[in-house]
A = this chain, B = another copy of it.
Amino acid sequence: MSKCESCIIREFNSLKSLTREELMRVSACKTGKIYKKGQVIFEEGETLNGVYCVRDGVCKLTKLSENGKDQVVKLVVKGGLLGKRSLVSEQKTNLSAVALNDMEMCFIPKSEIMNDLTKNPKFTMDVLKKMAEDLKVSDESLVKMAQKSVKCRMAEILMYIHDNFGTDDDGYLSIVLSRKDYASIVGTATESAIRILSQFKKEGIISTSGKRIKIEDYRSLRWIE
């Protein structure tokens, strides 16, 4: 397995602020993990004792609502760190993580990285910054969820996936989600999600091929309200 010192992924997250020595120590104790599409990485209520660094693939972070429905809180791709909160708090994790396609990750035990968090101010500040940014994004999501229609939220998630995770060679969104996943991101019933996507299709805003979605008219998506 590749060593952290020579792994380019770390440039996308807070691990980039570790010194070469710290990295070598982390590298020595990390374990590689492979997850298949649909596999659960961890579940709400579990005690995480470390962080996962995503090397490849995509996963969703979800939270179970009291009515039994899952709500997708965040999508995480290459470079993302899962379980940051576990470094800071003794509490159990409040989210579940499920692989959306085949994933490759590294697991770094908390015990090993905690020392760096107290000794390396640059690293700490970086984690802090990332968390502050997450918080900002979370606030924005809340406002969207509260103030915008389901149709608008659906348009936004399509643009979000397009802008952040890109498309494949044929122009289809490179992250492939089920209609149920879309429903659980925008917070609506699966049927409603299906209906809205069908409508977008009729209007020529998107086209589909199986589960894959291609944005045909990005401009129109922006104007939906």
Residues of A within 8 A of B (CB): 63, 65-67, 69, 71, 73, 84-85, 88-89, 91, 94-95, 117-119, 121, 124-125, 127-129, 131-136, 138-148, 186-187, 225
User: Chain B CB within 10 Å — which of A66, A88, A117, A187 has the most?
Assistant: A88
**Neighbouring B residues of A135 by C-beta, 8 Å:** 85, 131, 134-135, 138
Residues of B within 8 A of A121 (CB): 118-119, 121, 124
Query: B125 to A127, Cβ gap below 8 A?
Result: no
Q: Which residues of B contact A186 (CB under 8 A)?
A: 146
- Are the CB atoms of B143 and A63 closer together than 8 Å? yes
Asked whether, in the complex, the Cβ of A71 is within 8 Å of the Cβ of B143, the reply is yes
Contacts of A131 in B (CB 8 A): 128, 131-132, 135
CB nearest to A67 among chain B residues: B147
Residue numbers in B under 8 Å from A89 (CB-CB): 129, 132-133
* A132 and B63 contact, CB distance less than 8 A: no
- Please give, as numbers and ranges, the residues of chain B lying within 8 Å of A132 by CB-CB distance: 84-85, 88-89, 131
Partner of A139, one of B66, B94, B125: B94
Shortest Cβ gap from A61 to chain B (Å) = 8
**Distance, CA A121 to CA B147, complexed state (A):** 39
Looking at A121, A131, A186, which has the most chain B CB atoms within 10 Å of its CB?
A: A131
> Which residues of chain B come closer than 8 Å to A187, judged between CB atoms?
145-147
Given contacts A65-B143, A71-B142, 8 further A-B contacts (CB under 8 A): A63-B140, A65-B147, A67-B225, A73-B139, A73-B142, A84-B132, A131-B132, A142-B142
What are 21 A-B residue pairs whose CB atoms fall within 8 Å in the complex? A65-B147, A66-B147, A71-B146, A73-B139, A73-B143, A85-B132, A85-B136, A88-B125, A89-B129, A91-B136, A94-B136, A94-B140, A119-B121, A121-B121, A124-B125, A127-B128, A128-B131, A131-B132, A138-B142, A141-B142, A145-B187
In the complex, which residue of chain B has the Cβ closest to the Cβ of A149? B67
- Within 8 Å by CB of A147, from B69, B85, B94, lies B69
Do residues A145 and B148 form an inter-chain contact, with CB atoms below 8 A? no
Give complex CA distance A91, B117 in Å: 24
